[in-house]
Amino acid sequence: VTGPIWDLVVVGAGPAGTAAAAAALRQHPQARVLLLDRADFPRDKVCGDGIAAEVFDLLDELRLPDAAAGCPPVGRLRLVSPGGATADGALRRPALVIPRAVFDDRLVTAVLAWGAVLRRHRLRDLQQHNDMVLLDGEIRARVVVGADGAESTVRRLLGVAPNRPAHVAIALRGYAPVATDLAGTQVIAMARRGWPAYAWSFPIGDGRANVGYGHRLDRSTGRAETLTELDRLLPGAADGITQVRGHRLPLSTSRPRVATGRVLLAGDALSLVNPLTGEGVHAAVLSGMLAGRAALSGADAGRRYRHALRSALGRHLRHVGVAALLGRRTAVIDAGVAAAARDPAAFDDLVDLGLTDGLLTPRVLRGLVRSAVHHPGQ
């Protein structure tokens, strides 16, 4: 094998992969960083396109500041629980809805300007040696970050099984003209039938909205039935829908052990999707950033990464796991949304738990208890 030994090879140039490359180059501007992606950019990625404000804090830290340019913030969120409780409030920090074809391409462009190299390449094989990793028999790397998404090849090649169906969601999304009453608001309407499942409408600012419906993989639903459910929960929102595509979401309620060697997993490849909301971009950027930092920090990148990830996300992942377990009962979700409708601070806490790295706070727990006492059996 000839050619350079790359300091870091990142497989997958989505948010996790570009954050990894950016973090590595920020620490070591001379490092040789190669990004591999099977797709040409710009490329579509099936997503709700909702990007939490906190993602932009991380991107600022990585000096990737322009990903939101020209996209109007969406300041309101409406939650409708399975039993019909509604919380409609201003977000403490407005979110952005940016088609991933745009968002991801901006991140890739920025890391290339920093000195990363992008190659179109679909990874098929990976062999770990003492001093390096050999990819597809031709690319040598000191460290590899597997950021290749929900169907991660790197993860499979490490011998790590995919999540079982109870810990995977599947969702369909498309773009449709935004219904007048849904403009300027992110709406999440939860289903009673087939719970956990919900429909969403997230306006992208050009008269259209990203609309979709997601449910757990072990509750099988065909495409036609999915679109019917979407229309039932958000009547009219999917009228004129185009670009309908589906994709899996590996939920953080079942995560593989983080490796300790030269191959690190980040983002969806590590099953970091929030089980309450399907949000995954924040954890993808955060984990990618930590993986990229650990990658060039010397011996045992994997161990450093594991510690960094645990201290950044460990508590949140435990809390959201407990919340998902409690939330299997629709009555708990009804009580949570009712609590959020009464108390703007509880609303903020729930948003943080669902969209970034928030915790199940005493305020939310008190709200749950109060709702249960006042509306038992709801």
Ligand X SMILES: Cc1cc2nc3c(=O)[nH]c(=O)nc-3n(C[C@H](O)[C@H](O)[C@H](O)COP(=O)(O)OP(=O)(O)OC[C@H]3O[C@@H](n4cnc5c(N)ncnc54)[C@H](O)[C@@H]3O)c2cc1C
Give me the residues that bind ligand X (CB under 6 A), please: 11-17, 36-39, 45-50, 122-123, 147-149, 153, 171, 173, 212, 214, 247, 249, 267-269, 273, 278-281, 284
Smallest gap from residue 39 Cβ to ligand X (A): 4
Nearer to ligand X, 212 or 367 (CB): 212
Smallest gap from residue 372 Cβ to ligand X (A): 30
Nearer to ligand X, 230 or 338 (CB): 230
Nearer to ligand X, 46 or 331 (CB): 46
Other Cβ atoms less than 10 A from the Cβ of 362: the count is: 9
Nearer to ligand X, 16 or 353 (CB): 16
Smallest gap from residue 66 Cβ to ligand X (A): 18
Nearer to ligand X, 50 or 292 (CB): 50
Other Cβ atoms less than 10 A from the Cβ of 271: the count is: 26
Question: How far apart (Å, rounded) are the C-alpha atoms in residues 307 and 45?
Answer: 30
Nearer to ligand X, 47 or 337 (CB): 47
Question: How far apart (Å, rounded) are the C-alpha atoms in residues 236 and 346?
Answer: 30
Smallest gap from residue 273 Cβ to ligand X (A): 5
Q: How are the residues of the chain apportioned to helix, strand and coil, as percentages rounded to the nearest 5?
A: 35, 25, 35
Q: Closest Cα partner for 290 from 256, 261, 313, 316?
A: 313
Smallest gap from residue 84 Cβ to ligand X (A): 23
Question: How far apart (Å, rounded) are the C-alpha atoms in residues 13 and 37?
Answer: 6
Smallest gap from residue 238 Cβ to ligand X (A): 14
Which burial class, exposed, middle or buried, applies to 134 when counting CB atoms under 10 A from its CB (0-12, 13-18, 19+)?
middle
**Signed CA dihedral, 262, 57, 274, 15: sign only:** negative
Smallest gap from residue 365 Cβ to ligand X (A): 25
Q: Which spans in 258-361 are helix H?
A: 281-295, 301-326, 330-342, 344-355
Strand partners, 31: none
Question: How far apart (Å, rounded) are the C-alpha atoms in residues 32 and 233?
Answer: 49
Nearer to ligand X, 284 or 296 (CB): 284
Q: Closest Cα partner for 299 from 72, 143, 150?
A: 143
